[in-house]
């Protein structure tokens, strides 16, 4: 309403035009001296949808991500290095940070995860026409397994002020094996790796003989 040019000149000169429509305090000091953040959340709950066979299943409630805080961003990482992807959830009010540990391994889930790290050859802050950026952002990793062929794109941004782990995670089902890896770097160069080492982590460097 304050920016509505269709209002009359009389209204623009009135006290209603000059007054605040909303007196909202983002930070509130509690009686014990602690400070609490307020938010304008409409009570929207977080959702976690997981693939199951040919479809998807809503696991929001059983996973715990269906919490009451005003969540702003999340990132995916394997903080305990057990091979299963965990979730870090950041909110604007209490609780500011929640860490959800993936317990599929504890529950007897089969399969494994192979993590792939990519590093471009440009170690300078300036843009290079011949080499990719150090973090290989924009690279496409093509994976061939004994059961499928997939492609992963390397990215770093994920929501508001959030960043996932830099490793690309390849999830393999029980008795599924990696056959080959191929990286198309942002520079246009291609790196292929075949046969593959039987490792949980694989590092690929642009321009290096693998």
Neighbours of 169 (CB within 10 A): 17
**Stretch 81-108: mean pLDDT:** 85
**Phi, psi angles (nearest 5°) of residue 43:** 85, 20
Q: Say how far apart CA 184 and CA 141 lie, in whole Å.
A: 7
Q: What is the pLDDT of residues 155-202, one digit of tens each?
A: 877 677 777 788 898 888 888 888 999 999 999 999 998 878 777 889
How much is the pLDDT for 92? 79
Quick check: 149 pLDDT over 90? yes
d(CA 207, CA 24): 55
Q: Would you say 142 and 182 are in contact if contact means Cβ atoms under 8 Å apart?
A: yes
Give the pTM: 0.67
**pLDDT at residue 1, as a whole number:** 45
CA dist 196 and 19 (Å) reads 68
Q: What is the dihedral of CA 5, 10, 15, 20, to 10 degrees?
A: -10
Tell me how crowded residue 109 is: count the other CB atoms within 10 A of its CB: 11
Q: Which two tokens mark 186?
A: 């942002």
The full 3-state SS of 77-110, as one line of letters, equals ECCCCCCCCEEEEEECCCCCEEEECCCCCCCCCC
Q: Tens digit of pLDDT for each residue in 99-143?
A: 999 988 888 777 788 889 999 988 776 777 788 999 899 999 999
Report in angstroms the alpha-carbon separations of 36 from 27, 31, 73, 80, 127. Answer: 6, 11, 19, 30, 43
Q: Where are the domains of the chain?
A: 49-100, 112-205
Contact status, residue 128 vs residue 108, Cβ threshold 8 Å: no
The alpha carbon of 165 is separated from its chain's Cα centroid by a whole number of angstroms, namely: 8
What pLDDT digit, counting tens, does each position of 23-48 carry?
556 666 778 887 766 666 667 888 89
Token pair listed for 102: 């993936």
CB-based contact 123:134 (threshold 8 Å): yes
Mean pLDDT of 79-83: 84
Rounded CA separation 155/135 (Å):
9
Q: Is the pLDDT of residue 52 over 80?
A: no
């Amino acid at each position: 309403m304050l920016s509505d040019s269709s209002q009359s000149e009389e209204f623009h000169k009135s006290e209603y035009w000059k007054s605040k429509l909303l007196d909202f305090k983002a930070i509130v000091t509690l009686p014990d001296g602690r400070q609490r953040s307020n938010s304008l959340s409409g009570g929207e709950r977080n959702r976690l949808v997981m693939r199951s066979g040919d479809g998807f299943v809503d696991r929001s409630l059983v996973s715990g991500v269906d919490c009451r805080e005003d969540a702003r961003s999340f990132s995916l990482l394997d903080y305990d290095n057990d091979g299963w992807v965990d979730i870090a959830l950041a909110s604007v009010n209490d609780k500011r940070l929640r860490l959800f540990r993936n317990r599929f391994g504890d529950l007897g889930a089969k399969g494994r995860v192979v993590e792939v790290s990519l590093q471009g050859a440009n170690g300078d802050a300036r843009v290079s026409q011949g080499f990719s950026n150090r973090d290989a952002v924009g690279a496409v990793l093509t994976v061939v397994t004994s059961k499928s062929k997939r492609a992963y794109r390397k990215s770093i941004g994920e929501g508001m002020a959030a960043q996932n782990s830099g490793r690309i995670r390849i999830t393999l089902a029980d008795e599924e094996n990696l056959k080959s890896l191929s990286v198309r770097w942002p520079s246009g160069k291609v790196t292929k790796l075949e046969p593959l080492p039987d490792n949980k982590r694989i590092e690929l460097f642009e321009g290096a003989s693998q």
